[in-house]
Structure 1
Amino acid sequence: MNRWDLGEAEGRIYSGGWREGGGGVLEVTSPGDGGTIGRIGIADGHDVERAGALAAEAQVVWGRAPYRERADVLTRAAAVLRETRADLELVLVRESGSLPTKAAHEVDKAIDELIAAASLVTLSQGDILPVEDPSVLGLARRVPVGVVGVIAPWNAPLMLAMRSVAPAIALGNAVIVKPDVKTAFSGGAVIAEIFERAGLPRDLLHILPGGPDTGEALVSSPHTSVIAFTGSTVAGKRVGEVAGGLMKRVILELGGNNAAIVMRDADLDVAVANGVAGSFRHQGQICMATGRHLVHESVADEYVARLGAAAAKMRVGDPLGEGVTLGPLINQTQAERVQRIVDDAVAGGARIVQGGTHDGAFYQPTVLEGVDAGNVAFQQEIFGPVAPVTRFATEEEALELAHESAYGLSASIHSRDISRALGFASRLRAGMVALNGQTIYDAAHIPMGGLGASGNGGRHGGHWNLDEFTFWQWVTVPSSAG
């Protein structure tokens, strides 16, 4: 991939090679400088149907390919990503508005996903089970599900697509990706080019940018057996409804309103640093972002003062600008949504300590004090650089506040008493908990996912991918053909 030359991807979809999509083209602009990045092709229902048929046919051969062949493709894809990372990071910065450091981190994560996926092929693919007749061999084996539909978001487009694409391909499946139209280059076209260079056989991977109609066609397609969706809870519920009605497996990684719980004995240097990173990294546009700061009343004044001081030092602007520490939201519409939440929060009794305004897509890092459990800033996933602070008096109150949310993705607990913190963590309804760390933490080898409005319990990562992208087949083998 050349720095500003999007090549064959310009105005096209990837399905049996680069071709025009039935839904026309769409111009993609940079949230940082407002410049045009390029045009993407839009897929319609006919494109989804065609891609499904091609993918299903190609998967039959790929599912029987030697495990080393599949692993080699993923290993080569990781090498391609390393070789092209400088140009890709620039595309990520321009397209998603991320800081260069965040773009570099995202590429690292995508490489990790490819390497971890390559290792899946050598894990146990089944079990030997007893059969009543001892002369019969009974085995349960894992079989590829077939065609996996991946609906990926715009906030970490490369990594969050690769998190499903890589293990699905490693385990013998074909994949159809519907990237968000706002980041269809870094979350779609780039992935097609990486795997094409890595030698992935034709028709196993399709990239079909589009809106909700394209996504619904992918979920409804008779060719897709599993749908991996990452995005908002509202959209995820619709995906689950359609997929469930068709008896399809669905992996839902949805929103989060994650709590950072600061106990009275917390190390405030660590807690504040993690609170700043948790709420303001990538402008708060991360599902694991810290959406609620639950702070013991004895340390709350100092915590709020430090959080506000850190926010005041941040410089907001074009992520390619010198000294910029906070980039834009994905677009002005999102900034206006965040502004409405902040305004409603203040009307509901909260106080702005720092920030609270925006200029176009650029939202100032904001700290809110006095946010009670009924406040809109406490209840909603803000998805912007806003840190709402709520005080508590006892651990039981902190636990109740943590659970005053439908979400259950991640949480953090800050305390010098690790044993006590571990006990508190065991009572939290959250898929991931960090002690004296950030709510934002994941890796390619861990079980990534949440509960409640954050997901349906499906897990990405490590050997848990086997449960999502294969199905069990029971086979009995007699001792002889006769």
Structure 2
Amino acid sequence: MTTKHELWINGEHTQPDSGKYFDVLNPLDDSLYCQAAESNDADINKAVEAAHHCFQTYSKTLAKDIEAMLCKAADLMERDRAEFTDILIDEIGSPINKANFEIAYAITHLRAAAGVARRVTGQTMPSDTPGRLSMSVRKPLGVVAAITPFNVPLIKAAKLVASPLATGNTVVLLSSEEAPTLSFRFAQLLHEAGFPAGSVNVVSGFGVDVGDTLNSHPLVKTVMFTGSSRVGKHIGEICGKQMKHAVLELGGKSPLVILADADLGLAVKTAIFGMFLYQGQACMASSRIIVEEGIYDQFIAAYKQAASQLSMGDLREMSTILGPIISQRQRDRVRRHIDNAVEKGATIETGGNWQGNKCEPTILTGITEEMDVCYEETFGPVTSVYSVKNYEAALEMANDTPYGLSSAIITNDLNKALDFAENIDSGMVHINAPTLYDEPHVPFGGTGDSGFGREGIEVDVDALTEWKWITIQLPDASAGH
């Protein structure tokens, strides 16, 4: 029997106002995985109002109680690890290695976020007025709209829900239409951990239909979005007009620079992991690999060999690296990028073929600016490798993009590595490591078309609270003399 998901509003399974449900397909074979409620504007209003009502009391929750609930949520996810693994494999086509990584990250993030509740601190400061005590405190904002993508739905649910809760806010989570099961299951886990009804609400449906209603709702005080740059810019416009906060984590065209002095084995290993984890459906994927000419031929030969040997087998086998592309629309995009590049003169060094809904790891050379793949994000297992004369040319090419999310360089030259870190226009830089990396406490995010603001428990306090300045004029002790 097909699972049917209701909305999760005010701690209860809630039927959609429209009475409509949409199909969610297993990307491996496009078989029916589940059906999920299709929200309309009335459902969004109901969820936001539930979150706003809960905020009136939840915002006063003691730090020790929030801390305990987040720690319990982490323990519950440990308990239910197998269930979350199955959802990630069957709903979004995660190979088990990637699913295991995502669950471990989410557990760690929940525990790290538990400490945030005790860091919502203010300060005292000197005043220019005699006898005046001057201080500042942080106050939670209110209802947070969290909009998550399909590719790392559990990581992003943990990121975009745990920190708002830790800082005293409440949440309305709009899940990706390709990954609603994960979001509903996560919300119910938080409910079991003790978070009160209305603190976390989950609505499913299509962002094109209800996204603007959620983001522009007057009771929504900040929007945290992960997705495409096009949609992110649209959300930014809405938030800007209403003077509300926004944290936007968007696309990428992340460069991996490999210098001639690099360890070849490390370079290949880094390029494999950074590009082909979860079949390249990652904003941080190394979709532009820029190689100094002295090592280019050796690198291409070794990289082709390694990529061609990657397993596309059973998603529950630990050896499997690549799974299916999430949807027909995204498969069409991957095919278009490959075909367009070949038509305009690019060479497929390896890959380019399909096994069902899985695209082989594909390496392109001879890429020129008029090809779609040169500047557009493919979001599939397709990377372009370029040869450059020297480090200076590599840096120039690495910066030739409207995106600025992640970047990496492989070299034994510390001076060039640090110069790269200083001069690359990206929010994150990794030396002798892949472009694909994250930890709960780091300031995660990018520049340019890659987004606005940062995620991470160290910076979330700033994004999710508002400063309030308070002064107290003390009695003048000398007045009575």
TM normalised by structure 2 equals 0.95
Indicate the residue corresponding to 1:372 in structure 2: 368
Residue of structure 1 aligned with 2:461, choices 458, 466, 475: 466
Q: Distance in 2 between matches of 1:253 and 1:395?
A: 29
Indicate the residue corresponding to 2:186 in structure 1: 191
- Could you tell me how far 1:323 is from its partner in structure 2? 5.1
For residues 313-462 of structure 1, the aligned pairs below 5 Å read: 313-320=309-316, 324-456=320-452, 458-462=453-457
Indicate the residue corresponding to 1:11 in structure 2: 5
SS in 1 for 2:287: strand
Q: Is 1:152–1:178's contact at 8 Å kept on the other side of the alignment?
A: yes
Q: Is 2:97–2:318's contact at 8 Å kept on the other side of the alignment?
A: no
Report the CA distance shift for 1:322/1:286 in structure 2 as closer, same or farther (over 3 A): closer
User: In the alignment, residue 13 of structure 1 is paired with which amino acid?
Assistant: L
Q: Distance in 1 between matches of 2:135 and 2:253?
A: 43
Match status 1:478 vs 2:458:
no
For residues 235-254 of structure 1, the aligned pairs below 5 Å read: 235-254=231-250
Q: Distance in 2 between matches of 1:407 and 1:322?
A: 33
User: In the alignment, residue 118 of structure 2 is paired with which amino acid?
Assistant: T
Percentage of identical aligned residues: 34
SS in 2 for 1:463: helix
SS in 2 for 1:256: coil
Report the CA distance shift for 1:386/1:14 in structure 2 as closer, same or farther (over 3 A): same
Report the CA distance shift for 1:128/1:33 in structure 2 as closer, same or farther (over 3 A): same
Report the CA distance shift for 1:386/1:481 in structure 2 as closer, same or farther (over 3 A): farther
User: In the alignment, residue 5 of structure 2 is paired with which amino acid?
Assistant: G
TM normalised by structure 1 equals 0.95
- Could you tell me how far 1:110 is from its partner in structure 2? 0.7
Q: Is 1:317–1:324's contact at 8 Å kept on the other side of the alignment?
A: yes
- Could you tell me how far 1:224 is from its partner in structure 2? 0.4
Q: Distance in 2 between matches of 1:240 and 1:80?
A: 35
Q: Distance in 2 between matches of 1:273 and 1:387?
A: 15
Indicate the residue corresponding to 2:166 in structure 1: 170
Indicate the residue corresponding to 1:230 in structure 2: 226
Query: Which of 173-182 and 469-478 deviates more?
Result: 469-478
The count of aligned residue pairs is 474
SS in 2 for 1:283: helix
- Could you tell me how far 1:322 is from its partner in structure 2? 8.1
User: In the alignment, residue 14 of structure 1 is paired with which amino acid?
Assistant: W
SS in 1 for 2:419: helix
Query: Which of 340-349 and 372-381 deviates more?
Result: 372-381
Q: Distance in 2 between matches of 1:11 and 1:73?
A: 25
User: In the alignment, residue 185 of structure 2 is paired with which amino acid?
Assistant: V
For residues 105-254 of structure 1, the aligned pairs below 5 Å read: 105-123=101-119, 125-186=121-182, 188-211=183-206, 212-254=208-250
Q: Is 1:314–1:325's contact at 8 Å kept on the other side of the alignment?
A: yes
SS in 2 for 1:133: coil
Report the CA distance shift for 1:322/1:271 in structure 2 as closer, same or farther (over 3 A): closer
Q: Distance in 2 between matches of 1:161 and 1:150?
A: 8
- Could you tell me how far 1:22 is from its partner in structure 2? 2.2
- Could you tell me how far 1:317 is from its partner in structure 2? 4.3
Q: Distance in 2 between matches of 1:134 and 1:62?
A: 37
Match status 1:268 vs 2:271:
no
Query: Which of 279-288 and 31-40 deviates more?
Result: 31-40
Residue of structure 2 aligned with 1:95, choices 75, 87, 91: 91
User: In the alignment, residue 379 of structure 1 is paired with which amino acid?
Assistant: Y
- Could you tell me how far 1:301 is from its partner in structure 2? 0.8
Q: Distance in 2 between matches of 1:317 and 1:36?
A: 21
Q: Distance in 2 between matches of 1:124 and 1:336?
A: 46
Q: Is 1:258–1:439's contact at 8 Å kept on the other side of the alignment?
A: yes
SS in 2 for 1:218: helix
- Could you tell me how far 1:459 is from its partner in structure 2? 0.8
- Could you tell me how far 1:378 is from its partner in structure 2? 2.0
Report the aligned-residue RMSD.
1.7
Q: Distance in 1 between matches of 2:272 and 2:436?
A: 11
Q: Distance in 2 between matches of 1:254 and 1:141?
A: 31
Indicate the residue corresponding to 2:53 in structure 1: 57
Q: Distance in 2 between matches of 1:463 and 1:189?
A: 27
Indicate the residue corresponding to 1:35 in structure 2: 31
Q: Deviations over 1:252-307 (max 9, x none)?
A: 00000000000111111001101011111100001111110000111111111111
Q: Deviations over 1:226-275 (max 9, x none)?
A: 00000000111111111111111111000000000001111110011010
Query: Which of 393-402 and 173-182 deviates more?
Result: 393-402
Q: Deviations over 1:407-444 (max 9, x none)?
A: 00000001011232112210000110110100001100
Q: Is 1:33–1:318's contact at 8 Å kept on the other side of the alignment?
A: no
